[in-house]
Amino acid sequence: MNPIYLDHAASMPVHPDVVAAMVPYLTEHFGNPSSIHGFGRKVRLAIEDARETVARALGTDPARIVFTSGGTEADNLALFGPAFAHREKGKTHLVTTQIEHHAVLEACQHLERLGFSVTYLPVDRTGRVDPDDVARAIRPETVLVSVMYGNNEVGTLQPIAEIGRICRERGVYFHTDAVQAFGVEPIDVATLSVDLLTVSAHKIGGPKGVGALYVAREVVMYPHLFGGNQERKRRAGTENVPGIIGFAKAVEIAMAEREKRRERYRALRRLMLSVWEARGIDHVVNGHPEAFLPHVLNVSFPGVDTETMLMNLDLAGIAASSGSACTSGSLERSHVLKAMNLPPEVVDSAVRFSFGPGNTEEDVRAAAERVADIVERLRGRK
């Protein structure tokens, strides 16, 4: 059976053009971008071109882009940077949500251990945060609000523009983790009232280990790596040159194909659901019915436990995910589904399928049929 990869929200295959763009920076263009000689200058120019590409895709200027080692580091920097810089002014409170990626949640827990206080806002059953809750949670000592753009487990999109407006009005920084949204949603930092925004290369067809943080001009932040002047002293260390070059290439491709990809993912999603409907497979779609990331489909098959399902899918050649963090091979219950207050039989049977540019209709139909076979088999056994 040919394997079918439906876990693009975890990582995407690297586009061949991305690999091709990176190779010269692993071979002949090896100079250190901080060097003043020609070897270095050549690489510096390439990095600044890449920065321009990433900036343009987000609707901003190159000076506002900080390259990082990925989404996790960008999220950490977005929280620690402003928090540490404003601590002396008595700004010791942050607001986030219960459904953030662990890169935000665990950074917040670290800040709590350092004496900051954090409010973790609830969500409704579709996974949406209420902007009024954000407004109510902001206090005089609040430095920053962090609400993700689109959720990686269930795909729910947040009312980012509205939350951004509230934060602007109240004079607090607004960070959004846009790792999953970038490449499928049109993102323009200027119209969103966002001060900090996280993106990652390997979720859009670029290499792993590189990402970026958009930082608005107004943001005062403390660096979190020391030892050099790179990234305007906000993130020291010799740049991941091949990674950055590959990232920019992936951004170029993703931007050119964005609308096409959105349409395609929506069609693949409908196709999958239609197979289960036609076969009378009882299922529940998790997330928001309209405001969702097109490449993420989180679905529960009540009575069929997630782990059993994933093992059977793997045997059937289908790569999917629980959507939640895997700790040494054993599944933890999803903090996102729990926060959504879904019934236990829905939480315990949720599976995330996520589409990518390489998925064909045939593959997705075949996958849906195999899923249906497994569900029928497992349900029949009881």
Binding segment toward ligand PLP, per CB under 6 A, in 45-53, 110-118, 199-207, 291-299: 199-207
Site for ligand PLP (CB under 6 A): which residue of 31, 33, 71, 287? 71
Contact 118, 96 (CB under 8 A): yes
Is residue 356 a contact point for ligand PLP (CB under 6 A)? no
d(CA 165, CA 171): 10
Of residues 87-126, which lie at the interface with ligand PLP (CB under 6 A)? 101, 103
Binding segment toward ligand PLP, per CB under 6 A, in 158-166, 198-206, 280-288, 293-301: 198-206
Is residue 231 a contact point for ligand PLP (CB under 6 A)? no
Contact 188, 55 (CB under 8 A): no
Residue with the closest Cβ to ligand PLP? 71
- Total number of residues binding ligand PLP (CB under 6 A)? 15
For the record, the structure tokens of 199 come out as 């993106």
Of residues 271-290, which lie at the interface with ligand PLP (CB under 6 A)? none
Catalytic residue of the set 28, 326, 343, 344:
326
Of residues 153-192, which lie at the interface with ligand PLP (CB under 6 A)? 177, 179-180
Q: CB of 45: closest distance to ligand PLP in angstroms?
A: 25
CB environment 310-335: b (16+ within 10 A), e (fewer): bebbeebebbbbbbbeeeeeebeebb
Q: CB of 75: closest distance to ligand PLP in angstroms?
A: 6
Site for ligand PLP (CB under 6 A): which residue of 203, 235, 249, 283? 203
Nearer to ligand PLP (CB atom), residue 311 or residue 326: 326
> What angle is formed at CA 339 by the lines to CA 305 and CA 172, rounded to 5 degrees?
145
Q: CB of 80: closest distance to ligand PLP in angstroms?
A: 15
Is residue 211 a contact point for ligand PLP (CB under 6 A)? yes
Q: Is 108 a catalytic residue?
A: no
Identify the residue whose tokens are 């076969």: 279
Q: CB of 286: closest distance to ligand PLP in angstroms?
A: 16
Instruction: List all residues 6 or more positions away from 177 whose beta carbon is below 8 Å from its beta carbon.
Output: 71, 75, 100, 101, 103, 104, 146, 148, 149, 197, 198
Q: CB of 241: closest distance to ligand PLP in angstroms?
A: 17
Q: Which residues bind ligand PLP (CB under 6 A)?
A: 70-72, 75, 101, 103, 148, 152, 177, 179-180, 200, 202-203, 211
Catalytic residues: 326
